[in-house]
Structure 1
Amino acid sequence: MDGSQPRSETPMASRKINLISSPMRAVIRLRRKVLKKSRLHLDLAREQSPELVQSRLLQRQISLSLFNQASFDNSQYFTFDTSVDQSALNKYKRKKKRRKSRVVLYPDSSKKYLPAEQKSKAKRCLLLLIGIICFQILNAIENLDDNLQKYDLDGLEKTMHREVFGQKVAVERIMELLKDYLATHIHNKPLVISFNGPTGVGKSHMGRLLAKHFRSVMDNDFVLQYFVMHHCPNKEAAPACRSDLSEKISNMVTRAEIEEKIPLFILDEVELMSPVLLETLSGFFQPNQTNEFLNAVYILISNVGGSEITTFLLQNVSTDLLHPQSKLQELLHILQPVLSRFHPLWKSADVIPFGPLERSHVTKCFLEEMLREGLYPDQGHVENLSSQLSYYTAGGREYAVTGCKQVGAKVNLL
């Protein structure tokens, strides 16, 4: 039994040795040879100098480390190979990229067509709506131009600049209000313009020019000139005057609404009106009325606030007579309380102040009147007549106290 046991172990050991591959055995042999050589070198190094031994030992260690690293990197065993995992990962990434962008291949014999775009019907409706809006805007602009051409406001402006002296700012403001209002036939309130200033500065003359012009472009039935001293001289007859004025205004606005025209009411000498007539007019100026009463233009002419305007302008002669917008607003701020104390109807009006006339403007009035009467306009004679009037003096300028009020009487005495 004892003799047979070693025999049985020998075949097992040979089997284990056979299991080791030949490359492994080659590595072991090489390692043994290197170790033997290193031992021999160490023995020789003991007999040599210590510096040389140390340098040679360092070289041997470096070569051994490089050899071991190269042998383990090149060996097929005892390493962790990640090439398989890396290739699988790269394959997965390539598949993912293919899923994102796939190239559609067409056969050579077939025709290629782009995908058909589906056109939305809402775009057509939107384009149609935009076209309708643009057409309406153009039509509205043309209608505004047609309305202004119907009243010939450009010709009116030229006439007023030519025949009204010294009131350039007032003329520009009047034309601005008329153009804005007469451009359309639909309004939310009537246009009320008030001419205020001292006597003889051209307020009544401006009213006559407006009446003459609108009678020529429209019909006489749509223009009313109401003079208080002529139509209602007695204050006792105020109720009858009120009913008469109300009937005239109502009939005129009704006819004008049928023909789509805007009537013009010129009311002169408003400061002489009785409170009953002023209340009647105030009722027509309100916005809460029927449509025909909203489409109308009222011109109020009065001397109310004339002294305040004269005083303000004489104190501000150096500011070029109302041309600065700030001075005009300051003057209107002074006038509004004065007019409101007289009657509240001026709260609904656009007030236009008429300033006093300079001596040069009075001279033009004399020339115009003499030409109208058929007299030769001698310059010396005109200067002599203008010197007979009374003037204010301020800032080196002369302003007529009564304006051109007495020009007609002076010319008639010639």
Structure 2
Amino acid sequence: MKVAHVILLVLAFSTSGVVVHAFDPITTTVVVGIGATLGRTIYNYFRESCDPKWISFNSTGLQTDLENKLFGQHIASRIIFKALNGFMNNENPKKPLVLSLHGWTGTGKNFVSQLIAENVYREGMDSNFVHVFTSTLHFPHLSHVVNYKTQLQQWIKGNVSNCERSMFIFDEMDKMQPGLIDSIKPYLDYYDKLDGVSYRKSIFIFLSNAGGESIIQTTLDFWKAGRRREDIELKDLETALSLSVFNNDQSGFFRTSLIDKNLVDFFVPFLPLEYKHVIQCVTAGMVDRGMDPDLDVADQVARDLIYFPKSERVFSVKGCKTIDSKLDYYT
């Protein structure tokens, strides 16, 4: 009798309530072994695992999302796509990918993290391999910094041991306890392995409002000079941004070895959003809700926001942060 027939026979008898006694030891061993293997296969099919079925970089998807869903961020879009595309297609990276995203609230930093997760992990932000730390929630007390350092190291080591393609997002870096982030410096460095664990295929993303002032000032200078914001390049911002973050004693990056040792691959600036970008956010929000875009409603929502400088009303103070609640009011 073929093995497949044996399995079907066992299943048939089991479901009909008939107890089977007539198996010889060899047949029983085969059936039990195959049954266990089949069970593991079914279990692994539905349970997220660290393999290409669940983790596979969608280069085209990320590029399309950045072009069609992220508004007013030509620098961030270009850097993030090139950085992810190069890293994920490198079978032997020398270190983890480390991105530090900077800019005022509502400019798209958290949203970009979500887009990255959705185009790397089948489960997106719900993946067991995507880990989010929020400074004010997970590390609220200065007096507990020593414990936080140990816990953070153990958490990262444990998760990377489980899956080398893990992603760690640190939100509110501008509120991070001083010196805490230095505890993970070894994991971001150029090591083959640390205690038998390789971190080189992991992704670390830091989100921060720190450095936002220097980004805004540069953007304002371009606007006042009559220059297009699309002409702003990374070189116009990166040095001032990294120095601003490094020397800001209110930042979790204050005098950190991550910057001093050049372990952050890219400081990614997010520019303040203009009225036209807010309109794009509103219409995109309508589409997400299954609504037909209404420019009159979009204009009402956009005009209801606060802009600066006060006289010219060029840049949105909160970016697209409150768009969802505004849509609830106007629709």
- The CA distance in 2 between the partners of 1:222 and 1:379, in whole Å, is 40
- The CA distance in 2 between the partners of 1:154 and 1:379, in whole Å, is 29
Q: Deviation at 1:168?
A: 2.3
SS at match of 1:309: helix
Q: Deviation at 1:390?
A: 1.8
Matched, 1:181 2:96: no
SS at match of 1:348: coil
- The CA distance in 1 between the partners of 2:148 and 2:116, in whole Å, is 24
Aligned ranges for residues 151-300 of structure 1 at < 5 Å?
Answer: 151-216=57-122, 220-257=127-164, 262-288=165-191, 290=193, 292-300=198-206
If the length of structure 2 is used for normalisation, what is the TM-score?
A: 0.70
- The CA distance in 1 between the partners of 2:139 and 2:297, in whole Å, is 40
Q: 1:303 aligns with which of 185, 202, 209?
A: 209
- The CA distance in 2 between the partners of 1:251 and 1:409, in whole Å, is 39
- Residue in 1 that maps onto 2:227: 319
- Amino acid aligned to 1:201: T
Question: CA RMSD for the aligned pairs?
Answer: 2.7
Greater helix share, structure number: 1
1:2-41 deviations in Å (ceiling 9; x for gaps): xxxxxxxxxxxxxxxxxxxxxxxxxxxxxxxxxxxxxxxx
Q: Deviation at 1:195?
A: 0.6
- Residue in 2 that maps onto 1:35: none
- Residue in 2 that maps onto 1:348: 263
Contact 2:96 2:199 in 1 (8 A): yes
Q: Which has the higher contact order (CA 8 A, sep 6+)?
A: 2
- The CA distance in 2 between the partners of 1:324 and 1:388, in whole Å, is 28
Q: Deviation at 1:403?
A: 0.7
Matched, 1:362 2:281: no
Aligned ranges for residues 4-153 of structure 1 at < 5 Å?
Answer: 150-153=56-59
Is the alpha carbon distance of 1:391 and 1:343 closer, same or farther for their aligned partners in structure 2, counting shifts above 3 Å? same
Question: Max radius of gyration: which structure?
Answer: 1
1:271-304 deviations in Å (ceiling 9; x for gaps): 1111242121333222246161233211111011
Q: Deviation at 1:374?
A: 5.5
Contact 1:150 1:217 in 2 (8 A): no
Q: Deviation at 1:413?
A: 3.2
Is the alpha carbon distance of 1:233 and 1:213 closer, same or farther for their aligned partners in structure 2, counting shifts above 3 Å? farther
- Residue in 1 that maps onto 2:37: none
Q: Which runs of 4+ in 1 moved over 4 A?
A: 373-377
- The CA distance in 2 between the partners of 1:248 and 1:154, in whole Å, is 32
Q: Deviation at 1:233?
A: 3.5
- The CA distance in 1 between the partners of 2:100 and 2:329, in whole Å, is 34
- Could you list the runs of 5+ residues in structure 2 that have no partner in the other structure? 1-51, 248-253
If the length of structure 1 is used for normalisation, what is the TM-score?
A: 0.57
Is the alpha carbon distance of 1:250 and 1:321 closer, same or farther for their aligned partners in structure 2, counting shifts above 3 Å? same
- Residue in 2 that maps onto 1:383: 299
1:381-410 deviations in Å (ceiling 9; x for gaps): 32122112122359x882212211222232
Count of aligned pairs between the two proteins: 260
Is the alpha carbon distance of 1:151 and 1:361 closer, same or farther for their aligned partners in structure 2, counting shifts above 3 Å? same
Contact 1:165 1:361 in 2 (8 A): yes
- Could you list the runs of 5+ residues in structure 1 that have no partner in the other structure? 1-145
